[in-house]
Amino acid sequence: MSNSSDDLDFKSARAEMIQSDIRRRGVADPRVLAAMDRVPREKFVGPVDLDEAYADHPLGIDCGQTISQPYIVALMSEMLKLEGGERVLEIGTGSGYQTAILAELAAEVCSVERHAELSARAGKVLADLGYGNVSLHVGDGTLGWPQHAPYDAIMVTAAAPRVPEALKEQLAEGGRLVAPVGNPGHQTLITVTRTPRGFTEKKGIDCIFVRLIGEEGYGQ
């Protein structure tokens, strides 16, 4: 494949990604699959990675961060069980790709990123693509964004040694939080649900994410 976007058949590559890397691996929510088809992942990757835009593996972005592999993006989105009317908190804006997927699935997305450079770049791409239901904030993601709480769903896109208590407290009753939890070299996707009696946790697949840096993460 050429590195020129003019030469790439992104639509075909996107359809193949959805069929081979997402649907075949068990992601079945039709709204998630449709969102993955609508969001142009090539807009969120660097020029040198255009030929890898729809490959099923993470890609590096600035500030030592990554854009997650498409399967993980789809899986975590499905785990939130969004129906369309929710307010969602995303921790780790990064490239903005996962933000865009969430914006397709929910009414409002509030996304926190600790790197101002990444937040600004993601904001421009999201605005260029017409996502008007996204609000971005630069700060410590482990503390969430309490000004907009409570949230019907929370997605954490970096690994923490435990689910930050501040995020759990910003979750609405009946809401779900999905996060990779574990040590820096190995984590498990955890779903936390807030019930009238407290919080329940369910373990999912093993995974590897960059570290969540902050007061309730891996420190500064």
Q: Which residues are catalytic?
A: 68
CA 174, 177, 181, 186 torsion-angle sign: positive
| Alpha-carbon span 97 to 198, nearest angstrom | 32
> Alpha helices, DSSP H only, in the chain?
10-17, 30-38, 70-79, 97-105, 116-128, 165-169
Rounded (5°) CA angle 193-156-130: 110
**Using DSSP, how many helices (H) and how many strands (E) does the chain show?**
6, 9
In whole angstroms, what is the distance from residue 177 CA to residue 183 CA? 19
Q: Give the Cα separation of 212 and 149 in Å (integer).
A: 20
CA separation for the pair 146, 137 (Å, rounded):
11
Nearest to 98 by CA among 13, 157, 148, 178: 157
Q: Report yes or no: 192 and 199 within 8 Å, Cβ to Cβ.
A: yes
Q: Are 98 and 72 in contact (CB under 8 A)?
A: no
